[in-house]
Amino acid sequence: MKIILKDGSTLELEAGCTALDAAKQISEGLARNAAAAEINGEVCDLRSELHDGDSLNILGLDTEGGLSTLRHTASHIMAQAVMHLFPDVKFAIGPSIADGFYYDFDTPEPFSAEDLEKIEAEMKKIVKEKLPLERFELPRAEAIKFMQDRDQPYKVELIEDLPEDAIISFYRQGDFTDLCAGPHMQDTSKLKAFKLMNATGAYWRGDSNRKMLCRIYGTAFAKKDDLDSYLQRLEEAKKRDHRKLGKELGLYVLMEEGPGFPFFLPKGMILRNTLIEYWREVHKRYGYVEISTPMILSRHLWERSGHWDHYKDNMYTTVIDDEDFAIKPMNCPGGMLVYKNEPHSYRDLPLRVGELGLVHRHELSGALHGLFRVRCFTQDDAHIFMTWEQMKDEIKNVVTLFDEVYSLFGLNYQVELSTMPDDHMGDEKDWEFAENTLRDAIVEMGKDYIINKGDGAFYGPKLDFHIEDCLGRTWQCGTIQLDMQLPERFELEYTGADGAKHRPVMIHRVVFGSIERFIGVITEHFAGAFPTWLSPVQVKVLPITDRSAEYAAEVAAQLDGAGVRVEVDTRNEKIGYKIREAQMQKIPYMLIIGDKEAESREVSVRSRSDGDIGAMPVEQFVEKVTGEIKSRAR
C-alpha cells in the first residue's frame, strides 16, 4: 500500500503496518523521537494501522499533537498512582489540556499538598517500570460490565451515554485500565519532566447539581528545561496577578457583597477613563458615531432577537408594570432599534456605530475570576451596517484599527477564522461568500490565520483575535463577527441606487472585548507599571524637608496646569522611604526636591525604569513628560 507523507512524497508499506512501522522505515531516529501520528488530519496513536492512500505526519514532542499525547498519558499515570495509594477512589475523566492535564476523582477527603507529593513519587516509579500502554476494544454491553465489575460508576455512565452499537476502547498499563479513546504514548517511560500543580473541586460533568469531585491538575513537558521555564513563567504570572496588583495599586477591588461585580477606585477610574478617551479618539478617526442604548429592555425585544429562547439562563430579568423585562447581556438588539429609528439610503452606508454599553450576564460563581470573568462589564461594541459589496473593505478597516490599538500596548496577536457550525441559520451560499470574504481580507493584508472549523456563531462566521502578552499567554479580546440573521429578524432596510428596498449585512466587533477584562490583561502585561500616558499618577513630587515643601507645591501646580497627573508626598518621612514607596506604587517619575533644587529652581528627576537621570529645569521636565504623554510612548 502507498502512504502519502507530509512533504507530498509516498511511502510503500506492507498491508497491516502501523504508523510506528512507517516511522521506522523513514528513519530510526524519527521513530525513537515520535510521540503520535497525524493520519488524514486526525491525531492518533503510533500503534494505529494504516490503509492505502492515508496521509501521514509523524508527530514529535515538539509538536502540539505530540505534547498533548504525552500529557494525556501523564493523566493515566497519575490515575494509576492514585489507585495504588488510595484504592477506594472512583475515577471520572482525565484529559490533556492547553498547559498540561487533569484527572477528576471521587474521594472521601480532598487531596492535600502532602498527598500530591506522594502521588508524584508513585508516578516516578510507574515511569521507571516502562509499562506498555495496550489498547483494546469491547462491545458496549461488555464494556459496561467490565467497569461495573471494577466498581467504577462514572465510567459506566459515560459508556451508557454512547450508542448501543458503539465499540468502546480501553487502555491498559500494568494493573490499571481506563476507558479512553486515546491517543497515548507507547509506554510510560516517555514521561521525563512533569509536576502536579494543585488540587481543586470540580462538579461531575460541569453540572452544579451533580457531585463535587476532586480534580488534580498537572503539567508535563518533553524536557526538564521546558518544565523549569514554564514554572518560572507561572511564578512571574503570580507576581503580575491583576487581582493582587489592583488592590496594591488602589485600582479596583472585588468584594463579597458583589461577587462578579467589580468596584473601581479613584485611580482605577483614571485608568479606565483614559482608555475610554483613547477608544473615542480612535473611533472618531475611523469614522464611527457613538450611541447609548438602555440597560433594561422588554421581553418582546429579546424574543425577537432570539436571546429569550437561547440565552435566558444567563440573563437577569425583572417585572415592570406587570411586563417582563431583561437587563441587557449584549448591546446588539438595542443597536438594531437605533438603525430602524430612521430610514437609510445606500449613500449612508457603511454606517459605523459604536457603543460603550454596560452589560450583565449571569456567570456561575465557580467561573468568576477577577476582571477576566465578571457578571457586569462594559463592552466596547460597534455595529457596522453595510452592503455585501462593502464587506471586504470594512473588514480591512476594522483590522487596521485593531493593528493600531494592539501595537500601542505592545500586544501581538494570532487570527482565528471560525467557520459555519452545524446549527447555522441562513443559506450556505451566503456563508461561503462571507467566509471567503473574511479570509480574502486578512490574506490581502498579509495576515496569517488558523481555521477553527465549525465554531462560527449560528448567525455568521467570525475572526477572533488572540492577543499575546509579554509572558506569551494569549487572551481572546478582539472579534469581527459577520451577521446575516439579525438584520433579517429586525427587518432592517436601506434604499438602494435602484430605488428598491434591500437588506444590509452587519458586522459585530469589539477591540478591547470589555473594558474590565482588557484592564486586567494590561495590568498583568505591564505588571502594573503602566506607560506614562496610562498611569493614574504620572509624577510624584517628593520634598526632602518642610523648607522645600512650598517649592514642591509650585512644581506640582505647574505640572497640573500642563495636564500631568501629579501628587505631592508631604509626609514627615525620610526621602529614601518616600522613593521606595513611590517605586512600589510604580509611579513613572519621581521629582526629588531639596534646598538645592528650590534655590536653583530645578528638579532632580528619578525614572521608574532608568533610576536617577539628573537635575533639570522644571520647564524642561514638563516638556519631556507631556511629550511622552502626548505620543503615548511605551
What is the set of active-site residues? 332, 361, 379, 381, 383, 462, 508
Q: In what order do the strands lie in the sheet with 42-44?
A: 10-12, 2-5, 55-60, 34-39, 42-44
Taking alpha carbons only, the member of 75, 264, 96, 242 closest to residue 173 is 75
* E strands, 149-299, in order: 167-173, 176-179, 193-203, 212-221, 252-253, 263-264, 289-290, 296-298
Q: How many CB atoms lie within 10 A of CB 342?
A: 7
Taking alpha carbons only, the member of 577, 580, 606, 578 closest to residue 591 is 606
Q: What proportions of the chain, in percent to the nearest 5, are helix, strand and coil?
A: 40, 30, 30
- Grid look-up 517649592 returns 551
Sign of the dihedral defined by the CA atoms of residues 125, 129, 132, 134, in that order: negative
- In sequence order, which residues have a C-beta less than 8 Å from that of residue 472 and are 6 or more positions away? 233
Phi, psi angles (nearest 5°) of residue 602: -125, 180
- The residues with which 56 forms a beta bridge, in sequence order, are 5, 39
Give me the torsion for CA of 196, 205, 178, 169, rounded to 10°. Answer: -130
Q: How many CB atoms lie within 10 A of CB 440?
A: 14
Separation of alpha carbons 392 and 437, rounded Å: 6
- Grid look-up 446588539 returns 332
Examine residue 350 and say whether the peptide bond preceding it is cis (omega within 30 degrees of 0): yes
Do β-strands 90-91 and 100-106 pair in parallel, antiparallel, or remain unpaired? antiparallel
Phi, psi angles (nearest 5°) of residue 421: -85, 170
Do β-strands 539-543 and 167-173 pair in parallel, antiparallel, or remain unpaired? unpaired
| Crossing angle of helices 64-85 and 113-128, rounded to 10° | 110
- Grid look-up 516638556 returns 623
User: Cβ(10)–Cβ(25) under 8 Å?
Assistant: no
Alpha helices by DSSP H, listed for 45-149, are 64-85, 113-128, 140-149
| Crossing angle of helices 266-285 and 515-525, rounded to 10° | 110
Examine residue 543 and say whether the peptide bond preceding it is cis (omega within 30 degrees of 0): no
Phi, psi angles (nearest 5°) of residue 202: -155, 130
Secondary element (H or E) of residue 423: none
Residue 452 grid cell: 477553527
3-state secondary structure of 540: strand
